[in-house]
A and B are shown apart, each in its own frame.
Chain A
Amino acid sequence: MPALTRELIALRVARELEPRTVVNLGIGLPTLVAGFVDPADQILFQAENGILGYAGVSDADYDPDLINAGGQPVDLVPGASFFDTATSFAMIRGGHVDVAVLGGLQVSAHGDLANWFVPERGGGSVGGAMDLAVGARKLIVAMAHVTRDGASRIVAECDYPLTAARCVDVIITDLAVIDVSANGLTLRETAPGVSADEIVAATGAPLAVPADIPEMRL
């Protein structure tokens, strides 16, 4: 099955973002999204360590005081601002962040998210993920559809410890775009060359499949 690369998942996530919105990108794959937005769209990326308006990862002039929440050096856009952590989480919890893009380990049929603790490793850290999952107006989870062992990351109920319950709005994977609502999961788009049947087979929760599912345009 021709699955998308991490970069193409990030590109598809970038297409999901509306112009002139405030977006927080989680550590890992979501960080790549900043590289795929059109600057003309004036999306303001928020980093929970206290930046509104970073442009993307840049190693050109490393400054230990100018990093995103993953510790990576970043560039700023004109109009960027810095602030303390309390202000940062007032933005996040107070509903001032339009979209959060987080990585995922499991997403349930109800939109529960587990993304911080890996039982196999017996470890993990919460960082800002729980606040972002609860506070962002829209939550996009970007992740591989299945684990390395082939188990679906989209499950009827999460068995990993939760980040937050009923918080995910959209799942974007290397196989599909899936919408989450109170009624469950609905397939919206397929990755190029992947059939709806293959996606249903790779999904561990009931997935509604409307007629004429379009392929992702990348």
Chain B
Amino acid sequence: MPRRLCRQRCAVPVIARYDPRMVAQVFATPDAAVAGIGDGATVMVGGFISAGSPSNLIRALVRSGPTGLTAVANNIGLGDLLDELCEHRQLARVIATFAIRASGGRTSRFEQQYRAGEVELELVPQGTLIERIRAGGAGLGGVLTRTGLGTIVAEDKRIIEIDGEQWLLERPLRADVALLKASRADTLGNLEYRLAGINFNPVMATAADLVIAEVEEIVEAGEITPERVGTPAVFVDRIVACPPIPVRWEG
């Protein structure tokens, strides 16, 4: 099974030893759960502002200190803790839909570093970002969308005409690691989400070589009703239970 679909892109070996077992490993702390994420890794981070954001895993990644990271996330600097990765300049590149505020106001550390030319930003429309990740996780070769046609998003990209209609070709996106947040996991690694905390998490779960989920509670296999499983265990490698860090976007 080609688990490491992005191997050819990854210059740096990220995880020294990949555990091929399909059952997720339970870790005692977020720090232990993120161990092995190396310099230069591409890291997808689930969540949408405060909802479904793996704040404990982000803080653990800050503490563990790898640099030259590429972060793929909906947002950075909107009350999310991803901005803390800028404190010690761990980010080289960010792929996001929301990173620089048009309205001014308080600027994030990310925005300061971006304006100083210290970190790269690829701004992607939200619907395109999720479909690129979905394509990466589903073994598809790309996405054809109208979104971005006639805008700067289409610059340097292929436009494909099908039956007289123009479509923008967007490439699949994968990562070395995905950091996710769910409400509960069972001991196999099945994940259950709550409220609007679903967002990017289940799609990112399919598109990374190593999937690490932070949950509020780990229960025995069978305790999550099968139809309530939002991410099947096959996608999940590591789980850790910890109290969520409350975050809030104050505008």
* Chain B hits for A163, CB < 8 A: 151
Q: Which residues of A contact B145 (CB under 8 A)?
A: 93, 134
- Beyond A62-B248, A125-B97, whether A50 also contacts B48 by CB under 8 A is yes
Find out whether the CB atom of B199 lies under 8 angstroms from the CB atom of A125.
no
For A164, list chain B residues within 8 Å (CB): 147, 149-151
Q: Write the nearest CB–CB distance from B10 to chain A, whole angstroms.
A: 25
Q: How many angstroms between the C-alpha atoms of A140 and B126 in the bound complex?
A: 20
Interface residues of A in 74-107 (CB under 8 A from B): 82-86, 88-89, 92-93, 105
Given A69-B48, A118-B102, A124-B100, do A130 and B151 touch, yes or no (CB 8 Å)? yes
Q: Are A93 and B147 in contact (CB under 8 A)?
A: yes
Size category of the A interface is 35 or more
Q: Which residues of B contact A117 (CB under 8 A)?
A: 102
Chain A: which residue is nearest B250 at the CB level?
A: A71
Closest to B123 in A: A126
Given known contacts A51-B196, A93-B147, is B152 in contact with A127 (CB within 8 Å)? Answer: no
A197 interface contact, C-beta 8 A: no
- Closest chain B residue, CB of each to CB of A49: B48
Chain A residue at minimal CB-CB distance from B202? A84
Q: Is B60 at the interface (CB under 8 A from chain A)?
A: no
Please report whether the interface of chain A is mostly helix, strand, loop or mixed according to DSSP.
Answer: loop
Q: Would A127 and B147 count as touching, CB distance under 8 A?
A: no
**Residues on B with beta carbons closer than 8 Å to the beta carbon of A64:** 50-51, 53, 244, 246-248
Q: How far is the CA of A124 from the CA of B145 in the complex (A)?
A: 22
- Complexed CA–CA distance, A34 and B131 (Å): 29
Instruction: Verify if A63 is at the interface (C-beta below 8 Å from B).
Output: yes
Complex alpha-carbon distance, A137 and B85, angstroms: 40
Task: Find B130's partner among A85, A105, A161, A162 (CB 8 Å cutoff).
Answer: A85
Contact A134–B49 (Cβ < 8 Å): no
The docked-state distance in angstroms from the alpha carbon of A82 to that of B192 is 13
Chain A residues lying within 8 Å of B98, measured Cβ to Cβ, are: 125-127
Majority SS at the chain B contact face: loop
**Residues from 32 to 52 in A contacting B, C-beta threshold 8 Å:** 47-51
| Residues of A contacting B198 in the complex (Cβ-Cβ under 8 angstroms) | 50, 82-85
A129, closest chain B residue (CB): B125
B127 touches which one: A49, A125, A135 (CB < 8 A)? A135
In the bound assembly, the distance between CA atoms of A162 and B97 in angstroms comes to 15
- Whether A84 pairs with B50 at a CB distance below 8 angstroms is no
Q: What is the minimal beta-carbon distance from A147 to any residue of chain B, in angstroms? A: 14
Please report the C-alpha to C-alpha distance between residue A93 and residue B50 in the assembled complex, in whole angstroms.
25
CB distance A124 to B48 under 8 Å?
A: no
Q: Does A123 contact B (CB under 8 A)?
A: yes
B99 within 8 A of A: yes
Q: Is B30 an interface residue (CB 8 A)?
A: no
A48 to B202, CA, bound (A): 15
The answer, yes or no, to whether A66 is at the interface (CB within 8 Å) is: yes
Residue of B nearest to A54 (CB): B196
Q: How far is the CA of A171 from the CA of B203 in the complex (A)?
A: 35
Chain A residue with Cβ nearest B249: A71
Which residues on B sit within 8 Å (CB–CB) of A116?
102
Q: Are B249 and A84 in contact (CB under 8 A)?
A: no
Which among A65, A123, A128 is the interface contact of B126 at CB below 8 angstroms? A128
In Å, the complex CA distance between A86 and B128 comes to 9
Q: Are B146 and A134 in contact (CB under 8 A)?
A: yes
The verdict on A121 contacting chain B, using a C-beta distance below 8 Å, is yes
Q: Given A71-B249, A135-B127 in contact, is the A66-B102 Cβ separation under 8 Å? A: no
Which residues on B are within 8 Å of A, measured CB to CB? Answer: 48-53, 74, 78-79, 96-104, 111, 115, 123-128, 130-131, 134, 145-153, 193-203, 230, 244, 246-249, 251
Please name 17 pairs of A and B residues whose Cβ atoms are closer than 8 Å in the assembled complex, sorted by A. A50-B198, A67-B49, A71-B78, A84-B202, A84-B203, A85-B199, A89-B126, A89-B127, A92-B127, A121-B102, A123-B100, A125-B100, A126-B123, A126-B126, A130-B153, A131-B128, A135-B147
Seen from chain A, the residues whose Cβ lies within 8 Å of a Cβ on chain B are 28, 47-51, 62-67, 69-71, 82-86, 88-89, 92-93, 105, 116-118, 121-131, 134-135, 161-165
List 5 other contacts, CB 8 Å, given A85-B199, A122-B115. Answer: A50-B199, A84-B130, A85-B126, A127-B126, A164-B151
